[in-house]
Amino acid sequence: MTPKALTISQFFFKKRLHLTLLVLILGLAYVVSSIGLGFQTTALFHAQDGLIWLLHNFIPNAESMRYWQDIGHQLVRTFLIAVTSTTCAAVISLFLAALGANTLSLNNAVTWFIRGFSSLMRNIPIVAWAMILLFSFKQNDLTGFLALFFMTMGFLTRAFMETIEDFGMDKIEALQATGANYLQVIFQGLLPEIAAALLSWVLYMIENNVRDATLVGLLTGTGIGFIFDLYFKGMRYGAAGLVVLAVIILVVGVEVISNLIGRLIE
């Protein structure tokens, strides 16, 4: 019995056939979804129009400079809320993750409950959080804080749980063999070793929340998102450009600092 061997030309023919089929299927999916949405592909070639418009209208002029103080104030508030919501969420997430991680948990039901809870928290769209909170907490910073807090809690709980599970069972068992109890295992063994990993997750979430804070602000009428909306809809494009500039400075600044810290704790 001879094994079925492909000749070289057959091999390449098959490879090309697969590639062609893949491109065809994706192309077809593209066309179908474009029609379904009403998207015109020609718009892609006009993408530069937006950038030109941006550069043309959004350059802050002398007149918009008087908004600088308002914008600066809101920028600092937005940053503080992004940081505060992350740290508060991180404390609770760490607690939940320590209870729910597979390697530490005493009970499977607890693990599944915490997993489900964190999945629920992060998959409820932030729009829904913002809207429900807006209805009861009204238009203020607390609403934005809580919306970011709930979502961050969902993300960090999963991230922390995975970090703890990556720590492995062996070290925990070794510590337990020396007579360490649950709390000692966590505080003497686990936390010192995974602190750097946890901190980099926290920094990543702060970066993310600074970005999302604009969106939440737009929806709930607070912070930097709100004043952007105000200037943008009032056609004060110079001032809106100043807001965009401020957001860019903040996001890039946070990114640079967090990269720096990330490199120091590596």
CB of 174 vs another protein, minimal distance in Å: 21
Q: Which stretch binds another protein (CB under 8 A): 93-101, 102-110, 128-136, 179-187?
A: 128-136
252 binds another protein (CB under 8 A): yes
User: From residue 147 to residue 176, what is the string marking binding to another protein with x (rule CB under 8 A)?
Assistant: ------------------------------
CA distance 264 to 266: 6
- List alpha helices for the chain, DSSP H: 8-37, 47-57, 68-100, 108-123, 126-137, 141-167, 169-177, 182-184, 191-220, 223-233, 237-264
33 binds another protein (CB under 8 A): yes
107: DSSP letter = -
Q: Which stretch binds another protein (CB under 8 A): 60-68, 100-108, 180-188, 224-232?
A: 224-232
CB of 123 vs another protein, minimal distance in Å: 4
Q: Which value, to the nearest 10 degrees, does the dihedral of the CA atoms of residues 217, 223, 226, 231 take?
A: -150
Cα distances from 115 to residues 106, 111, 112, 146, in angstroms, run 15, 6, 5, 21
Judged by CB under 8 A, how many residues of this single chain contact another protein? 68
CA distance 192 to 203: 18
Structure tokens belonging to residue 49: 């129009």
CA distance 46 to 43: 5
- Give every CB contact of residue 174 below 8 A, 6+ residues apart in sequence: none
Phi, psi angle pair for 139, to nearest 5°: -85, 90
88 binds another protein (CB under 8 A): yes
Q: Which of 83, 99, 175, 180 binds another protein (CB under 8 A)?
A: 83
Q: Which stretch binds another protein (CB under 8 A): 66-74, 123-131, 168-176, 180-188?
A: 123-131
Instruction: State the residues that interact with another protein by CB under 8 A.
Output: 26, 29-30, 33-34, 36-40, 43-44, 46-47, 49-50, 53-54, 80-81, 83-84, 87-88, 119-120, 123-128, 131-138, 140-142, 145, 195-196, 199, 202-203, 211-212, 214-215, 218-219, 225, 228, 232, 244, 247-248, 251-252, 255, 261, 264-266
